[in-house]
Amino acid sequence: MSSFIKQNRIVVIYGILSIALELWSLLFFDCAPYITHPIFPILCLGFQLYTLFLIPRKRVRAWMSFIFLFLQSILIIGCYYLYYSNGTIFEISMINQRNDAYATVEEFYVAPALLSGCIVILVSYLVFLILHTKKCDKIGILKESNKKRKKRIALGMYLLLIIMVLAIPLSDKYVNSTTNYKAILYNSNSSYQKLGVTGNFIYEMLHGNTKVDTSNLAGLEKSIYAKRCDISKYNGISKGNNLIMILAESFEWYPMSMYSKELTAKIYPNLTKLKNESVLCTNFYSREKTDTAEALTLIGSNPTGKYVDYDFPDNQYPYSLPNLFRREAIKEGDTDVRVTSFHQNTGNFYNRNQEHRSFGFDDLVDIKDMKKYGVKNTWFSIKHERNLDSQTVSAMKDEMIPKDNRFFSYWITFSTHGFYKERENLKEYYNIFDKLEVFPKGNSNQNYLRTYAAAVADLDKAIGIMFNDLKKKGLLDTTTVLLVADHNTYYNGLSNYAKKIDTKFEPELYRVPMMIYDQKLVKVMNQEHEGRCITKFTTTSDVIPTVFDLLQIPAWDNLYLGSTIFNKEKESIIYSRAYNIFITDKYIGYSLNNLRYKAAKANQKTKADFEKRALKHLGKLERIDKIFYSNYFSKHPYNP
């Protein structure tokens, strides 16, 4: 044994350093420094070690091992940036979104301790290799590397590769099961904790995209049409209204709560007015990326293991909000209905040109279309600034708010999109801040906050333009405006800084605004002395059922993950596919057996409620996955 180790010292040391690097890096992914399901990672490492054993020349073997360790470090750093920037764990479906991701990168950050550790390990190993290979120059080729040995090692390597491939189906049971949805709730750890960073990456690359068994769809139709969406006492109160839905990019409450009410009203006059005149969901949470929030607010669901925008852009969605809004409007006699989406980015970003057409929009008006109306594209400028919301609404208000048509306009804002370096096109708001002595310059975090607050001021200006136009056209009484944030300000960790939260496992980090401006609704709620605040836990999946409830649009409950916010008996739950985590205002966890946050007032009853809500959500998700993966409505007619 000692002779074997001596002859293969490089391989042994490489293996030790690779394991050490892997376990140490887990600390930066909110994991403990161990792997709970090590069989697959061990097989992966074994394959690399066998590859090195096959190389007879020590010098070549040495530099190949260094390349392996270097690539492992790069992989870990890349996965850390992904996790740091938006909290997601790598999965192969993300490859489809690589161009969109690159377009948003302005600042690459790696934890100094992680980067320093990688450098120390690599440099130390490099020094060792240089000294070691000099000593071994006379040997050149290992004495024991005869043809028989090479054949034996090659056979072992390929057997190991076969075992790795065969091990993937077994690994599915504890990594990301889509065949036993209930098991997701009782899994113990994140994918990184189970397989390590490198192991998870190799698993995803070999495993490929998640597969859902659609060979047997018996009973799915009966399940789809089993029950109508819940209704509340406000059902149909806004029937016949126009609809404007604003998906507000990275919108948060905190800029509006950092100063006095009087000062806030000066900084954000239009958002303050909207807040004072709307129904507020004060306990609304979102832990989604923009594209997922978009899907939830337009089709009410999202698939497991894949993304709607790139994996299912051509599916049929007859149950989407655009399709059902149009159907109901025509049924009510409004034959000339305009159903349009707006976003001042390029239409191919998140594949929206294709996806929104499948969702049922007549058109997606993107920055290329908006140029004709005078909207300036600063997104692809040298400074990479976001295209302004105020300029967009000012130029596009007649398209967003047509005077002589029943309409549904869906607008994805852009000003508040991270990152938050100083922007020239926000200069007018910086000047206002300086005059009012708010959001001052300071360290990097303060400067990020200042830019974000200025971007919110631009959104405020856009809201003012929109409501002035609605008033001018006499449409305030007959238009429902729903503003919902897609997610918190995770860029640069701004939410953590502004809310003084050190962890990712705190519900307050994901509490964001949702407001419904509807004069008919508010009038009745005030008459009944209900107040305008919905205090129960609500989330993005509740948006569509709420709109259906208010506008009295009939729909089937099992096609949507949430329920109307006005049903006091039901609360939804977040199971974020992108983050592999369950969230309520009382619990956050990768599963029921791996809770990372528990509220002080949580008890056995609240935990049982959490479990019940999660199981109901997963039961719906299992059926919804079959609809996505089979493109069910391309072969089966939809029954409205």
> Could you read off the pLDDT of 61-82 as tens digits, one per residue?
888 999 999 999 999 999 998 8
Task: State the average pLDDT over residues 488-507.
Answer: 92
Residues 7/142, Cβ–Cβ less than 8 Å: yes
Q: What is the pLDDT of residue 183?
A: 81
**553 neighbors 583 (Cβ within 8 angstroms):** no
- Check residues 92 and 461 and name the one with the higher pLDDT: 461
What whole-number distance in Å separates Cα of residue 594 and Cα of residue 586? 14
Q: What is the mean pLDDT of residues 243-266?
A: 97
Least confident piece of the model among 82-86, 118-122, 585-589: 82-86
Residue matched to tokens 């419904």: 516
pLDDT above 70 coverage of the chain, percent: 88
pTM of the model: 0.89
Q: Decide if 289 contacts 487 (C-beta within 8 A).
A: yes
- How high is the pLDDT of residue 492? 81
Task: Give the per-residue SS3 of 214-238.
Answer: CCCCCCHHHHHCCCECCCCCCCCCC
Taking the C-alpha atoms of residue 623 and residue 640, their distance in angstroms, rounded to an integer, is: 18
Judged against a pLDDT cut of 80, whether residue 100 lies above it is answered with: no
Ramachandran quadrant class, 372 (left: phi over 0; alpha: psi -120 to 50; beta: rest)? alpha
Q: Do residues 325 and 275 make contact, with C-beta atoms less than 8 angstroms apart?
A: no
Among 11-15, 17-21, 52-56, which is the least confidently predicted range?
Answer: 52-56
Cβ atoms of residues 432 and 457 within 8 Å:
yes
**491: Cβ contacts below 8 Å, ≥ 6 apart:** 85, 86, 250, 418, 419, 420
Task: Name residue, tokens 């209704």.
Answer: 231
- pLDDT tens digit sequence for 328-339: 999 999 989 999
Q: Looking at residue 274, what is its pLDDT?
A: 97
On average, the pLDDT of the chain sits at 89
% the chain with pLDDT above 90 = 66
Helices (H), 407-480: 427-436, 444-472
CB 190 within 8 A of CB 87: no
Instruction: Report the candidate in 179, 211, 210, 207 with the shortest Cα–Cα distance to residue 44.
Output: 207
Closest CA to 23 of 42, 46, 50, 10: 42
Cis link prior to 325 (omega < 30° from 0)? no
**Domain spanning 226-592: CATH superfamily:** Alkaline Phosphatase, subunit A (3.40.720.10)
Residue 293 has pLDDT above 70, yes or no: yes
Q: What is the pLDDT of residue 459?
A: 98
Residues near 150 by beta carbon (within 8 Å), at least 6 away in sequence: 54, 56
- Cβ(340)–Cβ(370) under 8 Å? no
Q: How confident is the model at residue 215 (pLDDT cuts 50, 70, 90)?
A: confident
Question: Which of 29-38, 114-123, 188-197, 273-282 bottoms out in mean pLDDT, i.e. has the lowest?
Answer: 188-197
- Identity of the residue numbered 204: E
DSSP letter, residue 416: T
Cβ–Cβ under 8 Å, residues 95 and 307: no
Strand-strand pairing, 284-285 and 538-539: parallel
Q: What is the mean pLDDT of residues 532-548?
A: 97
Contacts 24+ apart (CB under 8 A), 119-124: 121/17, 121/20, 121/21, 121/69, 121/73, 122/66, 122/69, 122/70, 122/73
- Alpha carbon distances (Å) from 139 to 58, 64, 136, 424: 8, 18, 5, 64
* 518 vs 8 pLDDT, higher one: 518
Beta strand segments in 98-256, E: 242-248
pLDDT of residue 149: 59
94-120: average pLDDT: 73
Please write the tens of the pLDDT for every residue from 143-182.
444 566 566 666 666 666 666 666 555 555 545 444 578 8
How large is the average pLDDT for residues 118-129? 92
Beta-bridged to residue 141, according to DSSP, are: 57
Q: What is the pLDDT of residue 90?
A: 81
Beta-carbon contacts of residue 392 (< 8 Å; ≥ 6 apart)? 342, 344, 370, 375, 411, 414, 462
Domain ranges of the chain: 2-207, 226-592
Token pair, residue 184, equals: 């997701």
Q: At what angle do helices 58-86 and 191-207 cross, to 10 degrees?
A: 110
Residue whose structure tokens are 């992108």 = 578
Contact 157, 598 (CB under 8 A): no
Binning pLDDT at 50, 70 and 90, where does residue 142 land?
A: very low
